[in-house]
Amino acid sequence: MTWIIILVFLILTFLIYILILRPKHLRWGASTDEVNLNLPGDEMVNKPDFNATRGITIESSPEEIWKWIIQIGSKRAGWYSIDWIDNGGTPSSTKIVPEFQVIHKGQFIPFTPDQKNGMWVNDYSSFKYILWTDKAGKASWLWYLIPVGDNATRLITRLRTKYVWTSLWIIYYLIYDVGDIIMMKKCMKGIKQRSEASVK
């Protein structure tokens, strides 16, 4: 009887996540128009299993926000998120780091403290967008800036991932599917906080 209760609980939890929580997580802060935008990199991953478009308004110019985005990375300026998870416990920078203000196509952006996992700069347009992709064509991550009014900007992120269901990595994918929103919200709010503070 106990295992039946546990099974029912797990099924209900799964359904609540898939039908209610996940759709909200995948479009946190983004309008319907932003979710439906055709953006750079959309063609890189065909039929992604994870397709998240998030947005936040920042009272700062694209030029200022750009500085905080291009220095992101583990053992770089950090992720402005939960540092003990994604930056080896090193606090994310609260300042612009000059040595990380140069980007180029093909540049590796490390995601983990050991610098073994990450993505590469596939394309960018200064002060407008930067697109990261993996080498297998199964993941893309876009940071997109839209000016709003005189001195505000919409920061849109789009993360598209195709899961390899037959790989042991599926365990990571499932954790990532659930936990990404926590890290991403904190990261985007971290960019907002830093960028707005720097122009006051």
Which listed CATH number (3.30.530.20, 3.30.70.260, 2.60.120.10, 3.40.50.720) goes with 28-198? 3.30.530.20
Q: Is the pLDDT of residue 120 over 90?
A: yes
pLDDT of residue 139: 96
Average pLDDT estimate for 37-50: 96
Q: Is the pLDDT of residue 93 over 90?
A: yes
**Helix/strand/coil for 129:** strand
Minimal CA–CA distance to 177: which of 9, 12, 11, 22?
22
| CA 61-92-173 angle, 5° bins | 95
Listed by start position, the domains of the chain span 28-198
- The pLDDT tens digits for 144-169 are 999 998 889 999 999 999 988 887 77
Average pLDDT estimate for 88-105: 95
- The pLDDT tens digits for 48-68 are 999 999 999 999 999 999 999
Give the separation between CA 173 and CA 126, rounded to whole angstroms: 31
What are the beta bridge partners of residue 32? none
pLDDT category at 8 given cuts 50, 70, 90 is: low
Per DSSP, the residues of 53-118 read EEEEEESS-HHHHHHHHHT-BTTTTB-SS-HHHHSTTPPPPSS--GGG----TT-EEE-STTS-SE
* pTM, rounded to two decimals: 0.91
pLDDT of residue 28: 98
